[in-house]
Amino acid sequence: MKRFEKIRSLRGEITVPPDKSVTHRGFLLSLMAEGVSYVSNPLLSRDTLSTLSAVEMLGGEVTKNADCFKIKSPGFRCFKEPSDIIDCGNSGTTARLITGVLAPQGKFFVLTGDDSLKKRPMDRVVDPLSWMGAKIYGREDNRLLPLAVTPARMFSADIKAAVKSAQVKSAVLLAASQIDGKSSYTETTPTRNHSEIMLRQFGCDLTVKNNIITVHGGGKLSPSKVRVPGDFSSSAFFLAAALMFENSEILIRNVGLNATRTGLLDVLKSFGVKFDVDLKNSEDGEPFGDISIKSQNVQGGKISGDIIANVIDEIPAIAALGLFADKPVEIRDAGELRVKESDRISALVCNLRSLGAEVQEFDDGLKISPLESVNMKAELKSFDDHRIAMVNILLSKRFGNLPIDDIACVDVSFPEFLQNIEKLEVTSC
C-alpha cells in the first residue's frame, strides 16, 4: 500500500520521457534495415526494453551509449531464428508489431507475454496477416499468446481495418514492406501514424492518400537515424494535474506534437481549457514543442466518435478530470479500453466510485459526475496498469493520504513519474 501527503499545487517545468510508440518503431525498423542505424533519446522503460531484447534475439547488435543506441543488423532478409521464445512482457505494441515483422520471415518463432498480455486479443493481427498468407497459431483459436509464427509464403494484399488500432495497422505495414508487390491498408478512422513516417524514413516506398496507405514492398530498407521526441501520452498526466491542483502552472518541454496523438488538446479546448503550444520543429515528420498550462475551470462535456482513437491512452486522465469539472464528463465509443493493460473502463469506474463520485458505466465508456465530497476511506487500485497507477498517484496527492495498492507498474512507460511529480510540488499554503 502506498499513500501520499496532500499537495496544494504543482509549479515549474518538466521534460517528459521519450515517446514509447516511436521508440518501439525505431528499434524494430533499425532491425529490419541492413546496416547501422541510430535511435537517439529512446525510452528505456519495461515495454521498450521488451522490444530491444527481441531485437537482440533476432540478430540486431545493440551498442548502448548515453542517450543514443547504435543498432547493427543484417536486415530483414537475414533474421536469426532464436533458440528460445520471445517474451514481450507487458507490451501489446511489442507483441503485435513483432508478429507483423516475423510473419513473412519463413522461420519459426514463438511469442509470449506476462499474465496481462496473455489475456489481450492477438487475433486482430493474426487475421489480417493470415489473409496475406501468414501461418500463425495460438491459444483459443489463434486469439491469445503464446503464438507460434511459422514458415509461410506471404503475398501482397489490400486490407481493410477491422479494428481502429495503430498496432494492427503497423503489423500489416511492417509485413507488407517485406513482401514483393503492392499492398494497401485502409483505415476508417486515422490512428497514430508513426509507422508510416518511419517506414518512409528508412526508405520504404509508402504513400498515404485519403486514409489508404499503399506500400510497394520487397525493397531493401536503408539504415537511418531516429530522434525520439517526448511522449505526449506521458504529458497528459501533467496537463490533467495542472487542472486538478489549484494554483498550478506547468511548462512541458520538447514533447511530441504529432497531430495523430494530440487529440487531448482538442478535448481540453472543447472543455473550455486554455493553454499555449510553442511548436519548435517538425522537419522529420514528428513535430515537437512546449506546452504550458495553468489551473483553471474545466467545463466538462462529452467525447465520442473519431477523436477516441486519437486520445485512447489519455482517457484515464480525461476521466479523472471529470471529478473536478463543472458538468459531467462522458466518454463513449471507447470499447477498446476494455482490452488495454487492464479493462480501463471498469478500473476507472471502480476507483472513481470508491472516491464517492457518481459514475455510470457503459459497454463503450463511462460518465463521471463532478465530485461533491470525497470519501477519505477510498482505496485506489492500479490493476497492474501503468496509466491507472499514474492517475491514482495524482488523486492520492490531490486528496491526501488515500492508499494505492500498487504503483510499481508505472515503469512500463514512465519509470520516473513520481520523481517528476515531486519536482513540481508546492506543499506550503
Q: Which residues are catalytic?
A: 313
- Which 8-state DSSP code applies to residue 306? T
Nearer to ligand S3P, 339 or 374 (CB): 339
SS3 assignment, position 87: strand
Q: Per rule CB under 6 A, is residue 320 in the interface with ligand S3P?
A: no
SS3 assignment, position 391: helix
Distance (Å, whole) CA 207 – CA 291: 31
Q: Per rule CB under 6 A, is residue 91 in the interface with ligand S3P?
A: no
Q: How far is the CB of 39 from ligand S3P (least distance, A)?
A: 15
Q: Per rule CB under 6 A, is residue 192 in the interface with ligand S3P?
A: yes
Q: Per rule CB under 6 A, is residue 170 in the interface with ligand S3P?
A: yes
Nearer to ligand S3P, 43 or 402 (CB): 43
Strand partners, 227: 40
Q: Is 120 annotated as a binding residue?
A: yes
* CB 396, CB 3: distance < 8 Å: yes
Site for ligand S3P in 363-402 (CB under 6 A): none
The neighbour count for residue 211, using CB atoms within 10 Å, is 12
Distance (Å, whole) CA 373 – CA 375: 7
The neighbour count for residue 26, using CB atoms within 10 Å, is 32
Q: Is 167 annotated as a binding residue?
A: yes
Q: Is 387 annotated as a binding residue?
A: yes
Site for ligand S3P in 294-313 (CB under 6 A): 312-313
Q: How far is the CB of 302 from ligand S3P (least distance, A)?
A: 21
The residue type at 355: L
What is the x/- site pattern for ligand S3P, positions 258-297, by CB under 6 A? ----------------------------------------
If binding means CB under 6 A, how many residues of this protein chain bind ligand S3P?
10
Q: Per rule CB under 6 A, is residue 93 in the interface with ligand S3P?
A: yes
* Residue of 14, 28, 49, 166 interacting with ligand S3P (CB under 6 A): 166
Distance (Å, whole) CA 365 – CA 335: 6
Q: Is 299 annotated as a binding residue?
A: no
The neighbour count for residue 416, using CB atoms within 10 Å, is 16
Nearer to ligand S3P, 167 or 224 (CB): 167
225-227: strand order across its sheet: 61-64, 68-73, 35-40, 225-227
Vertex 309: Cα angle to 162 and 33 (nearest 5)? 75
What is the x/- site pattern for ligand S3P, positions 321-360, by CB under 6 A? ---------------x------------------------
Instruction: Say which residue the cell 496509466 belongs to.
Output: 387
Distance (Å, whole) CA 409 – CA 415: 8
Rg (CA), the chain: 21
From 144-152, 166-174, 351-359, 400-408, span contacting ligand S3P (CB under 6 A): 166-174
The residue type at 180: D
Q: Is 332 annotated as a binding residue?
A: no
Nearer to ligand S3P, 157 or 312 (CB): 312
Q: Which three cell numbers stand for residue 365?
A: 465508456
What is the x/- site pattern for ligand S3P, positions 4-43, by CB under 6 A? -----------------x----------------------
Nearer to ligand S3P, 167 or 392 (CB): 167
Q: Is 25 annotated as a binding residue?
A: yes
CA nearest 87: which of 56, 43, 124?
56
CA nearest 378: which of 408, 360, 361, 357?
357
Q: How far is the CB of 189 from ligand S3P (least distance, A)?
A: 11
Nearer to ligand S3P, 290 or 385 (CB): 385
Q: How far is the CB of 25 from ligand S3P (least distance, A)?
A: 7
Backbone φ and ψ of 185, nearest 5°: -135, 120
Q: How far is the CB of 389 from ligand S3P (least distance, A)?
A: 15
Distance (Å, whole) CA 427 – CA 10: 9
* CB 368, CB 395: distance < 8 Å: no
Q: Which three cell numbers stand for residue 216?
A: 510497394
Residue 249 host element (H or E) = strand 249-256
Q: How far is the CB of 376 from ligand S3P (least distance, A)?
A: 33
Q: Is 92 annotated as a binding residue?
A: yes
Q: How far is the CB of 298 from ligand S3P (least distance, A)?
A: 24
Site for ligand S3P in 126-165 (CB under 6 A): 165
Mark the binding-site residues for phosphoenolpyruvate, compressed into ranges.
20, 92, 120, 167, 344, 387
Mark the binding-site residues for 3-phosphoshikimate, compressed into ranges.
20-21, 25, 165, 167, 313, 340
Which residues lie near ligand S3P (CB under 6 A)? 21, 93, 165-167, 170, 192, 312-313, 336
